């Protein structure tokens, strides 16, 4: 028994030691939130230019009562101007590494989640305070005053809170659920601060609080009536970076600005990130494209993003910031996925924008265009043509090999009516009888004029390509489509020389979280794609392998395959890519009966698509008139027919993803594989542009 007891005691000691080691080694907080040390040094971006960009990260319907963020060395708290020069004025230093910014109101707290408490008895953090006027103090004097009185205030049962109220310092004491509770403590405050004016501060519609979320201690309060907002900047690391982490795992540089906002459902704070221009550009690139894409693609896109940004100041002026962080403007997630390729692309093109007639261009782009672009006036209407946003054929875009750049969908007449009703066309009251394409955009295959008629003869018409796309989303991804009832004839074009294989990114270098090819500066969602391989998970008129049992060398397999399938043939066992294997049935054979032909040499590269070659690598304005660079592309076009499962349904076959104006992200990728430079890529999409440093232009602000 003694031996057994000794053994059990030893096991208990070993177990406790193991628990202690594991506990100490375990990271604090969520394991999927990156630390600032995992982000490369991007401090070189801070001083590239003199424009600050404000980006709305949470606003409108997405706000919360409190927002938590974390950093490694604490914060500088300050006053952030949003509507003037974007200046940040430091006011206070906090050494806590995790804080929550909340509405200054009576708050209920549940597992570090804050909501406004509507009854005093539900209050965990009160919004009423005793306030001591300290307008004559500077930051150091306020800190000394708090240090001198903090111990005595604690004996009374209160904490002292530094504040910036109405343009001057204050001290607030305690947090109470109602005015009476705060007023009862005013006498104690008078004893602590006999030479100061004492009042009671009530919650306002513009006040915010910084709270330590583990103990719910108020650390700082701010209220300037909306003239300026509370700004939070991380204390700099050894390289000068100021990284702040969010619960979503994103890492941002610059200032987090919190603006009190009530959307009618939630009383909380909106979150705005204020960053230097080049920091913003670098925070867009790896989320609109993939950071491992060819560097010339990244450079071209850096110039595009910079141009778009400088021509869209205050796009969201109603919410007091320039651009949002979503596809309505440009996808922006901060510094977390910036790699050396992205950093080099931004720094190598720092300040460079596209210009036309001496002014920065509105540089629109979309994920893919499906073989041609569309001019801006056909896309969005208006009476003034934009000369640099003209329709161009883009035969180099290998859209059949890019995710979501080629698609087929079947729509029932009732579902189509429901979709159009949700889009606002409520005059259509029953199943759709016909869809007529009345006309296409100039020099483009994008549908511009379309009429839809229901079974009662009621019709609606569309007169811009983006109206067409918006009305039929999600059944279409662009206005570059054909549609028919029961069947639709269409073409597939393959690029037979898609670039230098050696320049293609290695699959080993692909981050599983990368999502190249989005539709920034458009209303389309970004397709999630890691490598440029064809996705055949939907019915293209022939039958998907996923619908059949296939006998392989291993077994009988059903459903989705891992990129390739092994087939037994007369020549032995072959490894075949999924997209090169089809099954033909009596229902689908018609889709393969089209004639295959190769475009003539003179049609492969029309004159209007020839890019302008920019010879000067420094993008100087004094560069000579550029020469034209020929883009020679070998393509094979196949005519096919797509059939609906139900002949009464509509079937739509389309190409591209997004509005189709300006640059194609996947097309820029394809050109870079062919060895084209950043400016040659841009010249292929934008007409008559030049390159300048925006700081050399008048009125760029």
Give residue-wise pLDDT tens across range 492-542.
999 987 776 545 554 344 343 444 444 345 433 333 333 233 333 333 333
Task: Decide if 534 contacts 401 (C-beta within 8 A).
Answer: yes
CA–CA separation, 535 and 296 (whole Å): 26
pLDDT of residue 46: 85
pLDDT of residue 542: 32
Q: 424 or 625, which is more confident?
A: 424
Report the pLDDT averaged over residues 570-594: 49
Q: 249 or 513, which is more confident?
A: 249
Q: In the chain, what percentage of residues exceed pLDDT 70?
A: 76
Instruction: Judge whether residue 553 has pLDDT over 50.
Output: no
Q: What is the pTM of this model?
A: 0.79
Torsional class of 245: left (φ above 0), alpha (ψ -120 to 50), beta (otherwise): beta
pLDDT of residue 520: 46
CA–CA separation, 271 and 23 (whole Å): 34
Name which of 27-31, 400-404, 561-565 the model is least confident about: 27-31
Report the pLDDT averaged over residues 68-84: 95
Name which of 180-194, 394-408, 431-445, 518-532 the model is least confident about: 518-532
Q: 525 or 438, which is more confident?
A: 438
15 burial class (0-12, 13-18, 19+ CB within 10 angstroms)? exposed
pLDDT of residue 551: 53
83 burial class (0-12, 13-18, 19+ CB within 10 angstroms)? middle
Task: Decide if 456 contacts 430 (C-beta within 8 A).
Answer: yes
* pLDDT tier at 700, thresholds 50, 70, 90: low
* pLDDT tier at 564, thresholds 50, 70, 90: low
Q: 654 or 318, which is more confident?
A: 654
Name which of 259-263, 275-279, 581-585, 609-613 the model is least confident about: 609-613
pLDDT of residue 545: 43
CA–CA separation, 199 and 182 (whole Å): 9
pLDDT digits (tens, 9 = 90+) for 346-390: 999 999 999 999 999 999 999 999 999 999 999 999 888 899 999
Instruction: Judge whether residue 26 has pLDDT over 70.
Output: no
Report the pLDDT averaged over residues 310-327: 91
Instruction: Judge whether residue 322 has pLDDT over 60.
Output: yes
* pLDDT tier at 459, thresholds 50, 70, 90: very high
pLDDT of residue 108: 96
pLDDT of residue 83: 87
Instruction: Return the residue matching tokens 């490369």.
Output: 40
**Helix H segments across 71-215?**
139-156, 179-192
Crossing angle of the two packed helices 340-348 and 295-310, in degrees rounded to 10: 60
492: nearest Cα among 587, 582, 562, 570: 582
Q: Which segment, 27-36, 271-280, 576-585, is predicted with the most confidence on average?
A: 271-280
Instruction: Judge whether residue 417 has pLDDT over 50.
Output: yes
CA–CA separation, 631 and 610 (whole Å): 7
Crossing angle of the two packed helices 295-310 and 665-673, in degrees rounded to 10: 150
Instruction: Judge whether residue 699 has pLDDT over 60.
Output: yes
pLDDT of residue 569: 65
Instruction: Judge whether residue 5 has pLDDT over 70.
Output: no
* The pair of three-digit structure tokens given for residue 624, joined into one six-digit string: 């000579």
**In this structure, how many other beta carbons lie within 10 angstroms of the beta carbon of residue 568?**
11
Name which of 65-74, 106-115, 536-545 the model is least confident about: 536-545
Mean of per-residue pLDDT scores for the chain: 82
CA–CA separation, 439 and 449 (whole Å): 5
Q: Could you please report the per-residue DSSP string of 374-424?
A: --HHHHH--SS--TTS---B-TT--GGGSTTSEEEEEE-HHHHHHHHHHTT
Q: 609 or 75, which is more confident?
A: 75
Instruction: Judge whether residue 454 has pLDDT over 50.
Output: yes
**Alpha-carbon torsion (21, 25, 29, 32), positive or negative:** negative
Instruction: Judge whether residue 176 has pLDDT over 50.
Output: yes
Report the pLDDT averaged over residues 183-196: 94
| Sequence-distant (≥ 6) Cβ neighbours of residue 226 within 8 angstroms | 206, 259, 260
**In this structure, how many other beta carbons lie within 10 angstroms of the beta carbon of residue 536?**
18
pLDDT of residue 612: 36
């Amino acid at each position: 028994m003694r031996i057994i007891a000794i053994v059990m005691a030893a096991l208990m000691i070993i177990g406790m030691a193991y628990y202690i080691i594991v506990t100490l080694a375990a990271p604090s907080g969520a394991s999927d939130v990156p630390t600032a040390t995992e982000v490369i040094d991007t401090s070189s971006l801070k001083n590239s230019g003199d424009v600050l960009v404000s980006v709305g990260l949470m606003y409108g319907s997405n706000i919360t009562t409190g927002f938590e963020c974390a950093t490694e060395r604490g914060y500088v708290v300050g006053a952030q101007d949003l509507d003037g020069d974007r200046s940040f004025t430091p006011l206070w230093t906090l050494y806590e590494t995790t804080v929550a910014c909340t509405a200054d109101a009576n708050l209920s707290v549940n597992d570090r989640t804050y909501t406004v408490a509507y009854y005093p008895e539900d209050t965990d953090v009160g919004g009423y305070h005793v306030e001591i006027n300290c307008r004559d103090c500077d930051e150091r004097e306020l800190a000394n005053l708090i240090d001198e009185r903090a111990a005595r205030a604690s004996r009374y049962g209160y904490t002292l809170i530094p504040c910036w109220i109405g343009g001057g310092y204050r001290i607030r004491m305690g947090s109470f659920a109602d005015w009476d509770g705060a007023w009862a403590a005013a006498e104690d405050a008078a004893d602590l601060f006999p030479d100061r004016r004492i009042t009671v501060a009530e919650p306002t519609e513009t006040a915010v609080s910084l709270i330590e979320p583990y103990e719910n201690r108020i650390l700082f309060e701010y209220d300037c009536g909306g003239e300026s907002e509370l700004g939070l900047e991380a204390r700099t690391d050894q390289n000068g970076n100021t990284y702040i982490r969010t619960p979503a795992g994103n890492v941002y540089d610059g200032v987090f600005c919190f603006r009190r906002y009530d959307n009618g459902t939630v009383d909380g704070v909106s979150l705005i990130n204020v960053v230097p221009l080049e920091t913003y550009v670098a925070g867009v690139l790896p989320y609109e494209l993939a950071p491992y894409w060819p560097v010339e693609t990244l450079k071209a896109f850096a110039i595009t993003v910079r141009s778009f940004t400088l021509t869209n100041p205050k796009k969201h002026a109603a919410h007091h910031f320039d651009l949002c962080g979503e596809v309505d403007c440009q996808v922006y997630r901060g510094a977390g996925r910036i790699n050396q390729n992205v950093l080099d692309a931004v720094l190598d093109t720092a300040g460079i924008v596209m210009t036309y007639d001496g002014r920065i261009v509105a540089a629109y782009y979309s994920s893919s265009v499906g073989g041609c672009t569309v001019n801006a006036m056909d896309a969005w209407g208006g009476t003034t043509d934009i000369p640099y946003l003209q329709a161009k054929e883009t035969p180099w875009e290998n859209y059949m090999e890019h995710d979501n750049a080629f698609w087929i969908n079947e729509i029932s007449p009732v579902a189509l009516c429901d979709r159009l009703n949700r889009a606002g066309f409520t005059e259509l009251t029953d199943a759709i009888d016909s869809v007529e394409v009345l006309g296409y955009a100039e020099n483009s295959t994008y549908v511009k004029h379309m009429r839809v008629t229901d079974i009662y003869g009621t019709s609606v018409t569309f007169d811009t390509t983006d109206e067409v796309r918006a009305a039929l989303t999600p059944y279409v991804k662009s206005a570059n489509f054909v549609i028919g009832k029961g069947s639709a004839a269409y073409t597939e074009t393959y690029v037979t020389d898609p670039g230098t294989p050696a320049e293609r990114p290695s699959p080993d270098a692909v981050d599983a979280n990368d999502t190249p090819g989005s539709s920034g500066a458009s209303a389309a969602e970004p397709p999630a794609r890691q490598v440029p391989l064809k996705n055949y998970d939907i019915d293209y008129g022939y039958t998907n392998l996923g619908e059949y049992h296939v006998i392989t060398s291993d077994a009988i397999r059903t459903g989705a395959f891992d990129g390739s399938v092994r087939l037994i043939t007369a020549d032995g066992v072959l490894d075949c890519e999924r997209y090169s294997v089809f099954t033909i049935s009596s229902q689908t054979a018609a889709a393969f009966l089209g004639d295959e032909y190769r475009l003539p040499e003179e049609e492969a590269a029309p004159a209007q698509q020839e890019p302008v070659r920019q010879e000067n690598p420094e993008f100087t304005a004094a560069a000579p008139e550029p020469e034209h660079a020929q883009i020679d592309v070998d393509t094979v076009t196949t005519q096919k027919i797509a059939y609906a499962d139900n002949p009464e349904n509509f079937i739509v076959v389309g190409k591209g993803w997004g509005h189709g104006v300006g640059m194609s992200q996947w097309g820029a990728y394809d050109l870079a594989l062919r060895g084209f430079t950043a400016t040659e890529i841009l010249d292929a999409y934008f007409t008559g542009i030049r390159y300048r440093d925006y700081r050399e232009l008048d009125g760029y602000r």
